[in-house]
Structure 1
Amino acid sequence: MINETALLESKALRDSVLDRTDVLDRVKALSLLPDGMHVTTAMVATYFEVGIKAIRSLVLDHREELTANGYHVLTGSELSSFKELSGIQSRTASLAIFSRRAILNVAMLLRDSEVARQVRTYLLDVEYIARTQPVDNSVHSHSDALDDRIDQRITHILGKTVVPMFDALIATSSEHRRELIALRTGVQHIERRLRQHHARLQRLEGPRENRPLAGVMASIDAMNGPEFEEHVADLLRRDGCTDVIVRGGHGDRGVDITGRTADGRHLVAQCKRFAPYNSVTSPDIQKFIGAAKVLHKAEVALYVATCPFTRDALNIAAECGITVVHRGSLEAWSTGTELQVLK
């Protein structure tokens, strides 16, 4: 995936994503003038959490590009008309205004702003699937279809015949119980890998119109809380977890999901759908530790979030055996990579 700093250097790349003005509100709420279309220089500075001088300096260096995308300085009768139509109370002789497209342009040029960096990262996240998903123009042979049917048949036999056979042997054997459990775990791992392989093939070979146009994280950010919890639960089930139950809401005893890993360990998960510029802090982790380890006696505890974790939060999680799934890990997990702790 292209690094967000590439947008700072490439005008062609900036031009290719200028229509994605909705990203501005995804990252941070954008306040507009009463006309609902423009903002002033001061409002742009507030949005990006920088000084007004930084915005003015940027305009000076990139005025032609910004003007082409909606930056404009109003004076004279034009300013009077704008004040009357928008209801602005101002006695200035001139007023610089930015359209949403121009604000997005600023985000792709402004170096010393964390908000601008988040906008650039989000932009590329929204675009990356459209760039990276291959267009399937191949003609599939009969042998490909046969291989796929064989894989599915093997998966079915492993899940419906071999694993139950091991279950029966484990239940009636005491002498070789440990070895049998290890063999069953190996078979379940193979079955799970085959299912994941088949799911990936279906995604790649499916019709183009059924594929999402937005990036993975953009789709997740559009979910509400319950939808995000269900998404995480689906990922756990995909990776072989059983008895997965979404418990989010009142009375959840501090966890959103419970279940068991493929090898039988008790699992709990906490799901936080935060804005990407926020962070999970150490108090958040400490509260979860109490719920996961004390109330639920969990052997595997996941804290899944759509944002980064602070350094203190990461340190406390590592010390207490909490597996953190930050924004980058969540993206990889959602696109098919299995979490190490679930293997």
Structure 2
Amino acid sequence: MISETALLESPALRNGVLDRTDVLDRVKVLSLLPDGMHVTTAMVATYFEVGLEAIKSLVKDHRAELEGSGYHLLSGEPLRSLKDLSGSQSHARSMALFSRRAVLNVAMLLRDSEVAHQVRVYLLDMEYLARTQPVENPAPTDTSALDARIDQRITHILGRTVVPMFNTLIATSGEHRRELIELREDIENVERKLCWHHRRLAVLEGEAPADDVRATLKAMTWQAFEHHVAGLMQRDGCVDVVVRKARTDRGIDITGRTADGRTVAVQCKNRAGRWTVPSADMQKFAGAARAIDHVDIALFVATCNFSLESEAIAKLSGVITVNRDELEAWSAGVRLKALR
């Protein structure tokens, strides 16, 4: 069996497994740009949970190898087209892009990342199974598991690629705006039905996903809950997601950006189910998010419900509330509509 050390040190071994990009999503969802094929340097850093400089340094040291696996600089008209598609306001004259193969290549080079380590372990396990599985005695296919993976993959593609593309088209379209909005709603309906279908299959197979999610959330400390919400944001395509320090957060626990560049601020409240978010907490967050930070999307996420007064303040100030039931659905795999 190939060792992890050998993989880290051998370009030939790395090149031999570059096509197994499916392992990336099995370890952690890789958010893609609206073209459905590439990610930026910042998105790679977010995926591997390392600093931006770590990825830049890796590219500098292994540029030729990474270029061979799909890393390249985009400029000129192709860059303008990508900016139009993603709604980017960047004025940079070039942009570094990584293909999925290049991201996998990074995983096989990056030493100081737990996510990269997990990718390598999964990759090596898959390689070992592929080498040792007898050809004349293939493993039986679990069709139900395959159906579930297909559902999840379709949902992932719809959420990461198709819906953001429609958002961009709607924003720049005049004549066909109504038709595009209707098409987007149809796609979102398909996505919701797939999520419902996946949950129904889980129940029929004897699982209780809602109960499991509820118990998991209940057991979290407030710090763990903030990181859980940050992880959900990243799963739904947000980048530059940062959990802020309690002493300096000014009522904002998490910040980030959506895939199309909108700024996001989040307040998290992990309280018992009978407790409701009071109006004072909502006023503080609304003031910080809107008056001070001027964010595009303000989310108040709670493990409980909101008081009538706090709901009214949220509506007036444009804060989007995520209550207990909505949080459980989000945690179970349903994408949060506000982040689309």
TM-score in terms of structure 1 length = 0.43
> Whose relative contact order is higher, 1 or 2, with alpha carbons under 8 Å and at least 6 apart?
2
Larger radius of gyration: 1
TM-score in terms of structure 2 length = 0.43
